[in-house]
Chain A
Amino acid sequence: MKSSKVGPWLAIILGALYFIVPLIATFEFSLRMKRGQYSFEAYRIVLADPQFRATFLFSTIVALAAIVVGALLVVPTAYWVQLRLRRLRPLIEFITLLPLVIPAIVIVFGYIRMYNSSSILPLTSTAAGTNVLLTIGYVTLALPYMYRAVDTGLRAIDVRVLTEAAQSLGAGWGRILFRVIFPNVRVAVLSGAFLTFAIVIGEFTLASLLNRPAFGPYLQLMGANRAYEPSALAIIAFAVTWACMGLIQLVGRGARGATPVR
């Protein structure tokens, strides 16, 4: 190996060790529940726990709802910005970046203040209303990722020409959006969807402060009271996140090579 290549390789190895060693250590620890032997006992206990299944299901449903609401909010917005309001693009990008700058705890306190039981819209006074609030909160948290993914997808097609072609064939806005635009940014929406899912599935702050039975607070609860199960849960959460990333790659690769109409 040339001496000039030693430096970069050393940096890569150190970086990999920094990420991989704790992961391996956590995984190894999660297997040591039974004294003197490796086993998947901690995983068995976690997966058999009804609370695990209930919280994971709850988070999955909220994640799916956040994905649907996010896509319905972001795709038409990004489409309209691209088609008619290009001058507003910097402003919209700034707004969508705000959730990265404003901590989740600030957002949730704002929600609680705005939508408490004595407000005009008392969402927190019912479980269903709080679930709605939680979903909206997750849409907000995922906004930077969803918007960027969709915006990139829209830039790859000539939105204006496709819109005009559909209009000249008699199509109205609804048909243009759902038959022409959405299918052509399908991969981008799915990328945003998987990122949203990965964020929502382990999110703690919003779910905890809104007192919802989500997977994030369950993780925290287990971590505070058990020894081996939290490690198993961490590995499961990690696997779910990586599965989402893998799916993004898979969907992206499987997508047809649509000709960009420029």
Chain B
Amino acid sequence: MELLQTLEQMGQDLLGPAWLPLWTLLKIVVIVAPIMGGVAYLTFIERKVLGYMQDRIGPNRVGYFGLLQPVADGLKLLMKELIIPSGSNKFLFVAAPVLALMPALAAWAVVPFADGMILSNANAGLLYILAMTSLGVYGIIIAGWASNSKYAFLGAIRSAAQIVSYELAMGFALVCVLLAAQSMNLGDIVRGQQNGYGMLGWYFIPLFPMFVVYFIAGVAETNRAPFDLAEDESVIVAGFHTEYSGMGFALFFLAEYANMILIAALTSVFFLGGWLPPLDIAPFNEIPGLFWMLAKMSFFLFLFLWFRATFPRYRYDQLMRLGWKVFIPLTLVWVVVVAAWMQTPFWLW
């Protein structure tokens, strides 16, 4: 930390007003580069985990233990030809993958990795997160429409309806967090969960139903199994990215996995105390907060993979029913319950 401060001071003296944009750019690179690396290795871990769950070995040919597999896959996708279908809207067809990836990366600006380790300590952080996660659907809709293909369009329509439905439940779950923390700043939300008793102070205890709803809605928002109706390969080929090849396809993949990591990070921040240690005693609180944050994120990412290996895909009407008839009433009631609970002396958080 002191080293960082001296570095910042030095840069300030050296470059003057040009230093701030440069320093911010550096911070962005420091956040985005590990996310991209994480995405690459998440695909590898996904294939390994799915493999072992299905009694297979998974990729093990490229590099030791198959560790170079993501690099090989990335290279392959880079080398492939970009095919633009005839009759498609060329500009939007090319712009769609970019529109899908952009909000997935932009949302990381307000995510705290450890105490003070945050790009933008914005007061309206929670609102910003909601706004950014709701923008990801544009890439999918535009991709489906611009492809000029029936399957892609069906996938896009499914995705739009799904994301709009689950966003409501997600928003109400976050209203409960907001009530409990009395702040929309993500750093303050984590600090609100610090009460000296370790994990007993985390919001997943008073807001347990919201914790479950938020994570399931997160799985649905990212179009992951069992909610991957937008790319339902047994029904609509590959859904919205049927017509994409090479790097366009890779960008959609990057966006999906970056969104998964984001949902994992957000669930840890909102409900599992972000960078806080599970027990506030000697060996645990000596470990840096970043480690705890990453451990919690890894847990949720494993859940994503576990879901994919375990659950059969939802039917579309079941998906809509779960969103509108189960999650939204449940979250609405819990908002009232939490608001009333907080007025009583039994609120201990």
Do A and B truly interact? no
Q: What residues make up the interface of B, taking CB atoms closer than 8 Å to A?
A: none
